[in-house]
Amino acid sequence: MTSLPLTSIILFDDQSWQDLLPLTFTRPLSELRVGILTIKEKWEHWLHGEVSYITQDYLSEKFKLTIQHENYLINSSYLPTEALVLQVKSLSAGQAIYDHNTLVAAKLSAETIAKVVVDKNNISTSTNFKKIDGENLTYERITKPYHIFSKNGQELTKDFNLITTGRQSQAISNTNQVFGKHPIFLEKGVYMECCIINTHEGPVYLGKDVQVMEGSMIRGGFAACEGSIVKMGAKIYGPTTIGPHCRLGGEVNNSVLLANSNKGHDGFLGNSVIGEWCNLGADTNNSNLKNNYLPVKIWSYSKEGFEDTGLQFCGLIMGDHSKAGINTMFNTGTVVGVAANIFGDGFPRNFIPSFSWGGASGIIKHQLNKALETAAIVLKRRNQELSDEDANILTHLFQAENQNRFPNP
């Protein structure tokens, strides 16, 4: 018996990719995690397909495009909902769904996709497809870094239902105290003893081989993805997500760690998004509320200036491979680029460019060879190697970084 081919899902980046920097410097938009799953994983689950990407040229070596005879072309800033997925599945060849003038999804032949790629920066505004009625749909999008933590609760609940419905959780040890109206689900290999879990505000999901050490106190919604560790005595307020192979300790509130990052010690992290391969040293703290209680402004790469988030609570946005030394203090709404190394006393400035080295007393540009060396060592500790593709991405970013953001050493 021949199995049917998987649905071809092509996720394309629009202007939102730039608006989501620094988190998207090292990945397509669809590789961002919000809830339990990445946006890519959500679409894979909903459409039962195989994903490829239309993204920035320098990312395409790692995140490749595969074109099949028929393809769903989907704007990766849009989160799947049951209503949207039904609409996407109903598309005929050449038809498209628009959110006003923005392309959400289309069903296209290989020949049409090949033409689309030629002008890939303008896909979202293309009007070359037959428009079907999508005006009555309610859309959810991720277009700003702070959307990741502000929408994490609703997405966590959706993802929880998506991946646990009809399945049986592993048994919970009776040394734990669990209460609340929402469910808790433990995948195979979870180890948790002598912890307090409150699901009154949202569900709790513990992925395969997750460890939750003794004395941890968790208020849902909360998700710890495969292989992650919650350290002893952690105090976690939802909605919070830690991606695969993260370490989490201290006090954490409404934050997302994408994957492979550590905040393993005491210190506060709130209303924040931390990229991959980051480390926050012991007693690192961030402010998530201004003393005057006014809305927080953060650095926008696309606007090359600070923009108002409209949020009263907004903490730290940190790109991949960045590190903070012990006792580092981050002010409200701080944005840190890729491969920055921050240390020293005092508050560093609210925008720290990629490949920065220093802190409040001054910042210079890090050396590329040293940044690559550190990245390779960090990955090796997790039995991984820094691939040529990832090294090329970091090299591109180093060369593209605006030189005049750094004073002479």
Structure-derived torsion over alpha carbons of residues 148, 154, 157, 162, reported in degrees to the nearest 10: -80
Give 317-344 pLDDT, tens digit per residue. 999 999 999 999 999 999 999 999 999 9
Q: Is residue 208 part of a domain?
A: yes
Question: Is 1 inside a domain boundary?
Answer: no
Residues of the domain holding 127: 7-143
Average pLDDT for 313-319: 98
Same domain, 194 and 305: yes
Residue 170 lies in a domain: yes
107 bridge partner residues: 72
Cβ contact 284:263 at 8 Å: yes
Q: What is the pLDDT of residue 405?
A: 56
Q: How many domains does the chain have?
A: 2
Least confident interval from 168-182, 223-237, 346-360, 393-407: 393-407
pLDDT of 136 above 90: no
For residue 276, give the 3-state DSSP assignment. Answer: strand
Q: Which of 14, 35, 37 is nearest to 24 (CA)?
A: 14
Query: Any idea how long the chain is?
Result: 409
Task: With a cut of 80, say whether residue 135 has pLDDT above it.
Answer: no
Question: 238 and 153 in contact (C-beta within 8 Å)?
Answer: yes
Residues 173 and 254 grouped into a single domain: yes
Predicted local confidence at residue 107, as pLDDT: 96
Same domain, 165 and 63: no
Assign 67 a pLDDT band (cuts: 50, 70, 90): very high
Res 236: pLDDT? 98
362 and 344, same domain (yes or no): yes
Residues 79 and 190 in one domain: no
Q: Which of 143, 177, 203 is the last residue of a domain?
A: 143
CATH (domain of 24): 3.90.550.10
Q: What's residue 4's pLDDT?
A: 44
pLDDT, residue 2, reads 39
pLDDT at 407 over 50: no
Residue 38 pairs with which residues in a beta bridge? 33
Whether 59 shows a pLDDT value over 90: the answer reads yes
C-alpha distances out from residue 201 to 115, 213, 281, 383, Å: 47, 22, 30, 37
Q: Is 177 contained in some domain? A: yes
- What's the rounded Cα separation, in Å, for the pair 74 and 9? 7
Average pLDDT over all residues of the chain: 94
Confidence band for 44, pLDDT divided at 50, 70 and 90? very high
Query: Does 3 have pLDDT greater than 90?
Result: no
C-alpha to C-alpha distance for 204 and 78, rounded to whole angstroms: 25
- The pLDDT of residue 408 is 39
pLDDT at 402: 59
- The CA distance from 9 to 68, in Å, is 9
Alpha helices, DSSP H only, in 291-387?
368-381
CA-CA distance, 312 to 31, in Å (whole number)? 27
Q: Which two tokens stand for residue 59?
A: 């990312």
Do residues 135 and 168 both lie within one domain?
Answer: no
- Residue 137: which pLDDT band, with cuts at 50, 70 and 90? confident
Alpha carbon separation from 404 to 15, 320, 353 (Å, rounded): 25, 22, 11
Structure tokens at 102: 């923005």
Predicted pLDDT of residue 125: 85
In a shared domain, residues 197 and 261: yes
Which residue among 113, 143, 173 closes a domain? 143
Tell whether 229 and 307 lie within a shared domain. yes
Residue among 214, 216, 224, 181 nearest 197 (CA): 216
| Three-class SS state of 398 | helix
Residues 161, 279 within the same domain: yes
The pLDDT of 339-350, averaged and rounded, is: 95
Residue 84: is its pLDDT beyond 50? yes
Average pLDDT rounded to a whole number, residues 277-299: 97
- Does the pLDDT at position 134 exceed 80? no
Q: What is the pLDDT of residue 5?
A: 57
Q: Nearest Cα to 162, choosing from 185, 178, 136?
A: 185
Residues 86-97 have a mean pLDDT of: 94
Query: Distance from first CA to last CA of the chain, Å, rounded?
Result: 67
Does one domain contain both 127 and 163? no
Helix (H) or strand (E) holding 115: helix 110-118
319: CATH: 2.160.10.10
From residue 12, alpha-carbon distances to 21, 50, 56, 119, 222 in Å are 16, 14, 10, 12, 29
Instruction: Collect all residues with Cβ–Cβ distance below 8 Å to 197 and sequence separation of at least 6.
Output: 176, 177, 178, 179, 180, 184, 204, 218, 220
pLDDT category of residue 121 using cuts at 50, 70 and 90: confident
Task: Kindly state whether residue 390 falls inside one of the protein's structural domains.
Answer: yes
Task: Please identify, among 108, 143, 178, the residue that sits at the C-terminal boundary of a domain.
Answer: 143
- CA separation for the pair 264, 371 (Å, rounded): 22
Q: Are strands 70-75 and 102-109 parallel, antiparallel or unpaired?
A: antiparallel
What is the crossing angle of helices 39-47 and 82-89, to 10°?
60
